[in-house]
Amino acid sequence: MGFSEAIITLAAVWIAWAVFNISLVLMTERRAKLAGVGAYVVGIWRPRIVVMPEVRDALSARENIAVWMHEYGHLHHRHIQKNLVIAILLPFYRSRARVTRQELEADGYVREAGLGPELASALRKLSSHPFDLLRAQLLDRG
Ligand SMILES: [Zn+2]
């Protein structure tokens, strides 16, 4: 394989991996169901917040607003756009810390709106994942 073929192969792998990563950033209902995600944002230019019926029915009205505001917090902080830029420019970069920080930023948006306790109780009702329980604890502290 010559130098130019190597470059073309490398570029093709890069683009394929970037496209795959972009598809991961763009949430769809099917992916949310597979991952067991109860609430999420779809779309970039005209984003839409989706709360699954199971989640909606399990929560009180105020808890539902808190969950909705958490998703709105992701929009407010432009997390999807940021993740998309990273998926395109640095497709091989993985950061658990970024995911954690974005969740806490979205929670902070809810706390500032005064619905921290409602989000904490929603998290406890919906999840037994250690990270979600930690988020609930942080929200309780105010
Ligand atoms: Zn979130």
Which residue would you say has higher pLDDT here, 142 or 98?
A: 98
The whole-number pLDDT of residue 77 equals 97
- pLDDT grade, residue 46 (50/70/90)? confident
CA–centroid distance, 2 to ligand 1, in Å, is: 46
How much is the pLDDT for 133? Answer: 96
| Residues 58-96 pLDDT 10s | 999 999 999 999 999 999 999 999 998 998 888 888 888
Please, which pLDDT band fits residue 27 given cuts at 50, 70 and 90? confident
Distance separating alpha carbons of residues 58 and 98, to the nearest angstrom? 29
Find the 85 Cα to ligand 1 centroid distance in Å. Answer: 18
d(CA 140, CA 111): 9
Q: Which domain holds residue 35?
A: 3-141
Q: How far is the CA of 106 from the centre of ligand 1 (A)?
A: 6
- Total domains in the chain come to 1
Q: What is the pTM of this model?
A: 0.86
CB neighbour burial string for 112-131, b if at least 16 within 10 angstroms, e if fewer: eeebbbbbbbbbbebeeeee
pLDDT at position 123, please?
A: 96
Distance from the alpha carbon of residue 100 to the mean position of ligand 1, in angstroms: 9
Centre of ligand 1 from the C-alpha of residue 46, in Å: 18
